[in-house]
Amino acid sequence: MDTIRKLEILSDAAKYDASCSSSGSARPALSGGLGNGAVGGICHTWAADGRCVSLLKVLLSNACAWDCAYCVNRRSNDVSRAGFEPEELVRLVIDFYKRNYIEGAFLSSGVTGCPDTTMERLISVARTLRVRERWNGYLHLKAIPGASEQLVAEAARWADRVSVNIELPSAESLGSVAPDKSPRAIFSVMRSLARAGGFEPRRLLPTDVTPSSVPSSNPGSTAFGNLPAVSGAAAERVPVYDVRLASTDRPSVMEVRKDRRRNPEAAVLPAGQSTQLVVGASPESDAVILGLAENLYLAYDGRRVYYSAFVPTTPDPRVPALPGPPLLREHRLYQADWLFRFYGFKADEILSADRPFLDADLDPKCAWALRNLDRFPVDVNRADYLELLRVPGIGPRSASRILRARSGSALKPEALQALGVVMKRAAFFVTCSGTVPRIAGSMKSANPEAAFARAALVDGAREKLGGTQLEFDWDASA
């Protein structure tokens, strides 16, 4: 098989992995070396389905010995198989880089032999690129669950980012949908990566969720009726991973990220570790998914959790036969994740056991604000930074601008838009020293309790993405 045909097969096989963002690294040029990983030198483009394609994103091999039901490369799937020799992949990366086709590489692999053998082959590519070729471009390596701590540490030595995908939001779903993977194998790699990056993993306690986290009223569960993971579990208890922090008084992800306990002398893994959660291949609620994501950020110094809408490729009885990937749900989870990382929210503020799914029509911050009207209106002339961040339509940048602008004189409603405040949302939730903004284009005073407020806050994502969304009964699950 020639290299071009291999490339076709192995780049196509890699496209469903969403955990390939190249953000977070600024590897400088080396004297006498080749290339650099500086953010300014990286040109991002995105495929029509939203996946990053600015990197050479390819598998070393798709001849996988494992059988994850959601994966096109699973052992039991009848697809063309191919594999590169490590040296062949090195040449490809260097040739593409020299031709300016790529700014970096995302290298993963199906499991060929055992996890350590696969890891060694990936590391061999990385080491050759860095040492022999003196290639200094951005490199993201995938770690294989169950790989030894030494190999994970070596992968971290050569790569900007290493990711290990957790894939399923509960141990039970992992057991039924990805039977060759185990929580222990995944978390041991995460712990090794955290340590390689100079972060001591936090102590965790076991937990589980009550049935209300996977409510029987959730009609989405009918889509999983034939799944062994769901049939009994939804009615009883669904064990989730052993990733709850020991302290109930835990900090927010935003606080921890500001105060990152990273050893400044740890030169490895500048872009940290990331992981991917497949959404819609198993029955866990958004509350379970967000709770897990929050704990991964807090416990293992995760840089990013990616939510990947399950793409039904070829039928498998272990996963639901969806009409299309649940993109609206993926979109809302990303919005909620943004609230962790940049707005100081905690998972249990966004969702709870009695409200387990994100609102389909509202972004999670608007939905939270409408549920917490006792915290509004916020006076933009008196509120502190964290209070401003909680206002729909105000982000980190506009909150900082408000603090600066009001130091001169008190702000009036008409000044807010110029500071970057999105008034069509914020108008319902702020005052300016007692003056309530008017709704744009109307003489109505903004009032979040008015009947039109919720309709005015609907963002239209359902219309854009709803055609491929699992249809949950949001009212029934509220």
Instruction: Considering the complex, state which of residue 16 and residue 376 has its C-beta at the smaller distance from ligand SF4.
Output: 16
Instruction: Considering the complex, state which of residue 185 and residue 268 has its C-beta at the smaller distance from ligand SF4.
Output: 185
**Residues 27-66 vs ligand SF4: string with x where CB under 6 A?**
-------------------------------------x-x
CB of 64 to ligand SF4, least distance (A): 3
Instruction: Considering the complex, state which of residue 110 and residue 377 has its C-beta at the smaller distance from ligand SF4.
Output: 110
**Residues 152-191 vs ligand SF4: string with x where CB under 6 A?**
--------------------------x-------------
- Near ligand SF4 by CB under 6 A: residue from 10, 68, 126, 287: 68
CB of 4 to ligand SF4, least distance (A): 22
- Near ligand SF4 by CB under 6 A: residue from 9, 71, 309, 432: 71
367 binds ligand SF4 (CB under 6 A): no
Span near ligand SF4 by CB under 6 A; candidates 68-76, 194-202, 210-218, 232-240: 68-76
Span near ligand SF4 by CB under 6 A; candidates 69-77, 204-212, 239-247, 281-289: 69-77
How far is residue 27 from each of residues 19, 66, 271, measured CA to CA in Å? 19, 34, 10
CB of 70 to ligand SF4, least distance (A): 7
**Residues 102-121 vs ligand SF4: string with x where CB under 6 A?**
--------xx----------
Instruction: Considering the complex, state which of residue 146 and residue 413 has its C-beta at the smaller distance from ligand SF4.
Output: 146
- Near ligand SF4 by CB under 6 A: residue from 25, 36, 73, 163: 73
CB of 60 to ligand SF4, least distance (A): 11
Instruction: Considering the complex, state which of residue 68 and residue 238 has its C-beta at the smaller distance from ligand SF4.
Output: 68
Total residues contacting ligand SF4 (rule CB under 6 A)?
9
- Near ligand SF4 by CB under 6 A: residue from 74, 332, 365, 406: 74
CB of 118 to ligand SF4, least distance (A): 9
Interacting residues toward ligand SF4 by CB under 6 A: 64, 66, 68, 71, 73-74, 110-111, 178
